[in-house]
Amino acid sequence: MKKITAFIGSARKKGTYLAVNELEINLKNIGNFDFEYIFLNDYNIEFCCGCKLCFDKGEKLCPYKDDRDILIEKLEKSDGVVFASPSYAFQVSGRMKNFIDRIAFIYHRPRFFNKIFTAIGVQFIPFGKQTQKYLESAGRNLGFNVLNGTTVITPEPIPEKQLKELQANIRKLAIQFNQRLNDKNPCKPSLFKIVTFRMTRSGLQSSSIKLYDYEYYKEKGWFHSAYYYDIQLNLFQKFIGWLSDVLGRKLFK
Ligand SMILES: Cc1cc2nc3c(=O)[nH]c(=O)nc-3n(C[C@H](O)[C@H](O)[C@H](O)COP(=O)(O)O)c2cc1C
């Protein structure tokens, strides 16, 4: 049975919940899933104070002893992860953003490569997808295998036409999410991801200052690998990777 965890950035059980619940129903119609809701509102997540200890010296040194690690464990124990947030002022809710800030050290030391991630943006205005796009970028930066998500429109009360549209959107997402969960092939990296990986690792390796991330990269064997995980690069990708290594070494020396 696959474990799916949905992180919800709304304090209400309204539009965002409706969309996530629809995803749960559709997934359970297709297969066997253990589906968990994480209402971020129910967890104690302090505001990041910006000390950067998590980046520079390790996340264990964070001054806050709150629920951050409980939530990270939820991410680690999932096969599939959903970030769902209402749009507030054309962006994710503060609740969701604060959660992302608190785990942003993982952007420096990514993981979750074999887990599937998707995003649901929930909003009133029927155009723009900033919330969904931001959540997808967070998923990619954390290391997930990201399936592009969806944006749903939830006026209150929601008219029949919009409800039908929401249901159709989420049904499609559930089918794609299930397919991606069953796809055994590793996610193909974009050229941008290859460039950032290779420049970062070469920069870390050649820099005289040994940053905290250096040990993580060393432990993972990333100073000698083509990418974060085992993947066959084509000739062009290999060339770009080599060039990025050269650039990374020069820039961060
Ligand atoms: C503070 C605040 C800001 C909002 N800003 C936007 C916005 O910029 N664009 C938009 O389409 N909807 C905006 N909305 C509407 C919500 O995104 C919409 O009502 C959504 O359904 C709320 O999710 P919920 O029902 O799960 O709470 C805003 C709502 C609030 C409370």
176 CA to centre of ligand 1 in angstroms: 26
Give pLDDT, residue 240.
98
- Rounded to two decimals, the pTM is 0.97
Phi, psi at residue 208, to the nearest 5°?
A: -75, -25
Give pLDDT, residue 1.
95
Integer Cα distance of 166 and 120 in angstroms: 11
Give pLDDT, residue 211.
87
Q: What residues does each domain of the chain span?
A: 2-182, 191-251
Integer Cα distance of 136 and 184 in angstroms: 21
Give pLDDT, residue 252.
85
Integer Cα distance of 184 and 4 in angstroms: 17
| Residue 131 near residue 122 (C-beta atoms within 8 A) | yes
Question: What residue's CA is closest to ligand 1, atom 9?
Answer: 90
What are 112's two structure tokens?
Answer: 């979750």
Low pLDDT (below 70) residues in the chain: none
Give pLDDT, residue 78.
98
Closest-CA residue to 220 (of 196, 238, 201): 201
Task: Tell me the DSSP string of the chain.
Answer: -EEEEEEE--SSSSHHHHHHHHHHHHHHHHS-EEEEEEEGGGS--PPP----HHHHT-GGG-S--SSHHHHHHHHHT-SEEEEEEEEETTEE-HHHHHHHHHTTHHHHS---TTSEEEEEEEESSSS--HHHHHHHHHHHHHT-EEPP-EEEE--SSPPHHHHHHHHHHHHHHHHHHHHHHH--SPPPPPHHHHHHHHHHHHHHHH-SS--HHHHHHHHHTTTSSSSSS-----HHHHHHHHHHHHHHHHHT-
CATH code for residues 2-182: 3.40.50.360
Give pLDDT, residue 209.
87
Indicate which atom in ligand 1 lies nearest the CA of residue 87: 17
Indicate which atom in ligand 1 lies nearest the CA of residue 13: 26
From 124, 131, 132, 166, give the residue whose CB has the most ligand 1 atoms within 8 Å, as the site to mutate.
Answer: 124
**Average of per-residue pLDDT values in the chain:** 97
Residues with CB under 6 A from ligand 1: 10, 12, 14-16, 86-90, 122-125, 154
pLDDT (tens digit, 9 = 90+) per residue, 165-206?
Answer: 999 999 999 999 999 999 999 999 999 999 999 999 999 999
Indicate which atom in ligand 1 lies nearest the CA of residue 153: 21
Question: What residue's CA is closest to ligand 1, atom 24?
Answer: 15
